[in-house]
Amino acid sequence: MQPNKWILPELNKEEELKLSQTNNINSVVAKILLSRGFDSQKAISEFLFPKKEDLFNPFLLDDCYKAVLRLKEAIEKQDPMLIYADRDVDGITSLVILFNTIKTLGGIVDWYIPSDEGYGISKTVLDKYHKAGIKLVISVDCGISSADEVSYANTLGMQVIITDHHAPPEILPDAYATVNPKKLNCNYPFKELAGCGVSFKVSQALMQTYGKNFDKNIFIISSKQIDDNYNVFILKICNDIIIEEKELSATKNNIKILFDYIGKSAVVTNQNNSLFDDFDDIEKKIIYIENSNANISLKEETFLLLSEYRKEELLQDRRMSGFYDDNIDLVSLGTIADIVPLISENRILVKYGLDIINQNPSKRYGLFFIIDEYIKNTNNISAKSISWNITPVLNAAGRMAKADTSAKLLLAEDKYKAEDIFIELKKLNNDRKQLQIENIKHFEKILHQQCDIEKDKILVVLAEGLAHGVTGIVASQFVKSYSKPTILLISDGQYAVGACRSIEGFDIVSALEKTKDLLVKYGGHCQAAGFTIEINKIDEFRERLKDISEHFISTDMVAKKINIDCELKITDINKKTYTDLNLLEPFGSANTAPIFLMKNVEFTEISNIGQTGEHLKLKVLQNGTFVNALFWHGVKYEDMLKYKGKFDIVFNLEMNRDNLQLSIIDINNI
């Protein structure tokens, strides 16, 4: 019996062949790209070969300019600042990026990560640092839902700069500046940055305020001469943002009008542009860029010049190149950990960040200790190995109310100090594992008492007497098991703290927004959120969420679905195919590892592995050829597999040491 719904796209073989030949890629890769909606040359090229210069300008973020000018003022006046971070890996990496940037620029800065205060900014903490003389607070990966706390900070004479990426409420906090790509009035081209991505952008913009071209106009100019006339196209940029486009005609007699418009600003133009030949005495810097593409319009040529200028600036500016290399590995860690979509800008950041980590895994002493202990193949550190092996360890400290341990580890500049901190973190991770086992057992038991597993479209469970810290992990486990949004609460006196995890298509923050009159505070993403509520309001909260789920969760949404990329024959399973699939890395949210279908297979040499024998090791046969496979949690199918019938399977392709193997996801007896 097939418990899950398998969805296999219909692919056009002619398009597949054309795509494969045009891009010189494996036909399997071409099939996957087609199945995921990539059908234009530009989209495929940008996806397969992302470039650092394609990252968006940080000053496009609303309030970023205002925020960094205030930070620069504090640095120059030597006013002490406080960075207020969230406790997860995204928050910790956000903290380290901004902290190191401010310190590099000579600023005085302290940091704080909450332990028992709950999510968001705390008035008690504000009081403490106000008494210590802090007048500027910068939140990272939090703050967007802290309207009351920001107002309180204002009454203390403290200014707050919010940098966050969570869904904003209808009314924003009254902060000095709020940098969040999800703000309604923010025109930033990419909305899905993690908190560390926003922190990186703010830090990048802050670094750029110290550059030679900050707040200076630069003109990108293309022209075409026809007799004594010039057709001219101009882009006026400032801080790398296009602030004006202009098209005009000029003659040699009135060309001075153009130069009066440009003034003493720098000009970027084509190397073969004759417009400036007779004007060497003009007080301006002319930057010539080679461009041999003559079969394009002036406008296209000008934008191409802008692109080439950006590349050259990136290569020549050692200070900004150093900033990228010093921080992009942290952005990669936080972005992977926060499970934001690994597309567009996130894909670029993660891909380059992984390159930095793989080139020099010992660059950060603290991170290297984790890599050395928990990752077997340190020659190929992938998004998956970070997600499975590094993220849980770094998150363990926050889950055990000691998030500052992980921050100290990533900030450590002394190897021996880093080793001592790692030993402490390793113990916290072991404690976290034990707590997770206990909480799963407890929540599983009361889940069946408080919920109707078959009828309820959303699971809301209240527990008492449990330690906090791993509730989100347990909720994620239940979402995987039951394919339903899950909210787990732990009561603590008058209040209960809840962790939410959702399914595709159901925005859990939007659901919380509809019940905000019952909540003390809340915040998060569409798929993961947290909140605090008074105990006496939980029953009404549960009933209202059930009503919301009835209206917004369809039967199809809670059905277990497996989206298959394409069908493979066993003869397609080879190391070249696996190597070519690496072009699609990094895998994660919105760019999952490819899932394949193989039909009419048999199983042999079946054996149990794992501490309790819950996994199966076996061989898959098709037309007399076999390949090794693992079937995680497949013990319940053991008797059926030994029947030696024919099966269809869906699977991922993996490398185990130097051997290819299938990781079976699901089977169907045919």
> Does the structure show a pLDDT above 80 at 277?
no
pLDDT tens for 123-134 read 999 999 999 999
pLDDT at 617 over 70: yes
Question: How high is the pLDDT of residue 261?
Answer: 83
Greatest C-alpha distance within the chain: 92
Q: How confident is the model at residue 118 (pLDDT cuts 50, 70, 90)?
A: low
pLDDT in tens, 376-417: 777 789 999 999 999 999 999 999 989 899 999 999 999 999
Domains 5-49+564-669 and 58-208 share a fold: no
Least confident of 9-23, 172-186, 461-475, 612-626: 9-23
Q: Domain spans of the chain?
A: 5-49+564-669, 58-208, 217-316, 334-431, 451-558
- DSSP code at position 647: E
pLDDT band of residue 40 (cuts 50, 70, 90) is: confident
| Three-state DSSP class for residue 650 | strand
User: Whole-angstrom Cα distance, residue 202 to residue 197?
Assistant: 9
User: Rounded distance, CA 222 to CA 301, Å?
Assistant: 7
Tens of pLDDT along 315-338? Answer: 788 899 899 999 999 999 999 999
Helical residues (DSSP H) of 173-252, grouped into ranges:
195-208
CB-based contact 194:179 (threshold 8 Å): no
3-state SS, 494-557, equals: CEEEEEEECCCCCCHHHHHHCCHHHEEEEEECCCEEEEEEEHHHHHHHHHHHHHHHHHHCCHHH
Determine contact, residues 473/496, Cβ cutoff 8 Å: no
CATH of domain 217-316: 3.30.420
Q: How many residues does the chain have?
A: 670
Tens digit of pLDDT for each residue in 151-162? Answer: 999 999 999 999
Cα radius of gyration (the chain) = 28
pLDDT band at 99 (very low <50, low <70, confident <90, very high): very high
**May I ask the CATH class of domain 58-208?**
alpha beta
Average pLDDT of span 49-66: 94
Can you name the residues that pair with 601 across neighbouring β-strands? 647
Q: Rounded distance, CA 194 to CA 190, Å?
A: 11
SS (H, E, C) 118-146: CCCCCHHHHHHHHHCCCCEEEEECCCCCC
Q: What is the mean pLDDT of residues 441-462?
A: 94
pLDDT tens per residue across span 211-246: 989 999 999 998 888 877 888 899 999 999 999 999
pLDDT band at 665 (very low <50, low <70, confident <90, very high): very high
Provide the b/e sequence for 386-399 (b: ≥16 CB within 10 Å): bbebbbbbbbbbbb
φ, ψ for residue 59 (rounded to 5)?
-75, -5
- Reported as a pLDDT band with limits 50, 70 and 90, residue 291 is low
Specify the higher pLDDT residue, 208 or 228. 208
56-85: average pLDDT: 97
Cα torsion 131, 133, 135, 140: sign: negative
Q: 334-431 adopts what CATH topology? A: inorganic pyrophosphatase (n-terminal core) (3.90.1640)
Compute the average pLDDT of residues 664-669: 92
- Average pLDDT of the residues in 577-587: 93
Give me the pLDDT at residue 45, please. 87
Phi and psi dihedrals of 519, rounded to 5? -100, 150
* Residue 2 confidence (pLDDT) above 60: no
Look at 306-310, 325-329, 499-503, 570-574 and tell me which has the smallest mean pLDDT.
306-310
Nearest Cα residue to 156 out of 186, 183, 142, 136: 136
Specify the pLDDT at position 1: 41
How confident is the prediction for the chain on average, in pLDDT? 91
Confidence band for 288, pLDDT divided at 50, 70 and 90: confident
pLDDT exceeds cutoff 90 at 479: yes
**What CATH number belongs to 451-558?**
3.10.310.30
- How confident is the model over 641-654, as a mean pLDDT? 90
Domain 5-49+564-669 sits in CATH at 2.40.50.460
> What is the per-residue pLDDT across 583-609, written as a single tens digit (0 to 9) for each?
999 999 999 999 999 999 999 999 999
Closest CA relative to residue 93, chosen from 318, 317, 340, 382: 340
Residue 333 backbone phi and psi in degrees, to 5:
-60, -50
* Distance between CA atoms of residues 282 and 259, nearest Å: 8
Give per-residue pLDDT as tens, 510-555.
999 999 999 998 888 888 899 999 999 999 999 999 999 999 998 8
